[in-house]
C-alpha cells in the first residue's frame, strides 16, 4: 500500500477517536458520537477537495474511509469505560491526527504542482478544519481561534517537510519526521502553555 494511503488511514483513525471522545465528553447519544467522529475525520479533507476542484470528494467515491471512521468510533466507545480523562485522550489523538493530515494535504499540493506555500496551506486546512467543524458543532470555540498553538504546528511541520526535501532524504523519512515533529510540538505547546505573541494589550480596569 502506498505510504500516503497508510498515513491517511491512520490520520482518519486518530481524528475519528478524537471526535468520538469530544462527543462523549458532551454526553451525546450514539448517533451524535458517530456524526461528530465523521465530521472531525472528513471535514478538513472535504474542504481541501472542494478548494482544488476534486469532485465528488474522496470519501463519496471510496467507502473505505467511512468504514475506518465506523470501526475507530466503535473502538473508542468500547474503551471509554476504562478511561477517565477525556481531555488528555482528545489532546493526544487530535495531535496525532493533525500530524498525519498535514502530510496528506502537503502531498496533495505537491501532486498538483502547487507552490510549497500553497501546499502547506492545504496541509493546514486538511489538518485543522475537521476540528473546527467538530468544535462548532459541540458549541465550543474552535481551538484554531484560541490562544493555544494549533495551526502553527501544521505550518511548522510543513516547513520541516520542504526543508528535508531539499537535502534529498527518502520520501517516507520526510513524512515520518514531519508528522512526528508536529505531534511533539503540539503536545509540548500544550504542556508548557506556549502561545503566539499578542499584537495588543488588554487593559484591566480597577474599581
186 touches 150 (CB < 8 A): yes
Helix or strand holding residue 27 (H, E):
none
Which pLDDT does position 3 carry in this prediction?
A: 78
Which pLDDT does position 204 carry in this prediction?
A: 47
Query: Taking Cα atoms as reference points, which of 17, 161, 54, 45 lies closest to residue 103?
Result: 161
The C-alpha cell 471510496 sits at: 62
Q: Which three cell numbers stand for residue 6?
A: 497508510
Q: Which three cell numbers stand for residue 115?
A: 507552490
140 touches 168 (CB < 8 A): no
Q: Model confidence over 15-55: pLDDT tens digits?
A: 999 999 999 989 999 999 999 999 999 999 999 999 999 99
The DSSP-derived string for 46-114 is HHHHHHHT--S-HHHH-THHHHHHHHHHHHHHHHGGG---HHHHHHHHHHHHHHHHHHHHHHHHHHTT-
Q: Model confidence over 143-185: pLDDT tens digits?
A: 777 766 888 999 999 999 999 998 878 989 999 999 999 999 9
Which pLDDT does position 206 carry in this prediction?
A: 44
Which pLDDT does position 148 carry in this prediction?
A: 63
Band (200; pLDDT cuts 50, 70, 90): low
Which pLDDT does position 199 carry in this prediction?
A: 61
17 touches 75 (CB < 8 A): yes
- Torsions phi, psi of 148, nearest 5? -65, 140
Q: Model confidence over 69-121: pLDDT tens digits?
A: 999 999 999 887 766 666 788 888 999 999 999 999 999 999 999 999 999 99
Question: What's the pTM value of the predicted model, to 2 decimals?
Answer: 0.89
Amino acid at each position: 500500500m502506498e505510504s500516503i494511503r497508510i498515513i491517511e488511514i491512520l490520520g482518519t483513525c486518530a481524528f475519528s477517536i478524537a471526535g468520538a471522545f469530544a462527543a462523549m465528553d458532551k454526553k451525546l447519544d450514539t448517533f451524535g458520537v458517530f456524526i461528530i467522529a465523521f465530521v472531525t475525520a472528513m471535514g478538513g479533507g472535504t474542504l481541501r477537495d472542494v478548494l482544488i476542484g476534486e469532485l465528488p470528494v474522496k470519501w463519496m467515491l471510496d467507502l473505505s474511509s467511512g468504514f475506518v471512521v465506523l470501526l475507530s468510533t466503535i473502538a473508542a466507545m468500547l474503551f471509554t469505560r476504562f478511561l477517565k480523562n477525556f481531555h488528555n485522550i482528545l489532546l493526544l489523538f487530535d495531535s496525532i491526527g493533525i500530524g498525519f493530515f498535514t502530510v496528506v494535504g502537503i502531498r496533495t499540493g505537491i501532486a498538483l504542482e502547487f507552490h510549497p506555500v500553497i501546499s502547506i496551506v492545504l496541509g493546514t486546512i486538511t489538518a485543522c478544519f475537521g476540528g473546527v467543524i467538530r468544535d462548532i458543532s459541540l458549541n465550543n470555540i474552535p481551538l484554531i481561534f484560541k490562544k493555544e498553538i494549533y495551526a502553527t504546528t501544521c505550518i511548522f511541520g510543513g516547513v520541516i517537510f520542504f526543508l528535508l526535501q531539499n537535502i534529498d532524504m527518502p520520501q517516507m523519512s520526510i513524512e515520518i519526521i514531519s508528522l512526528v515533529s508536529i505531534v511533539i510540538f503540539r503536545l509540548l505547546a500544550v504542556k508548557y502553555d506556549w502561545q503566539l505573541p499578542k499584537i495588543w494589550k488588554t487593559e484591566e480596569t480597577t474599581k
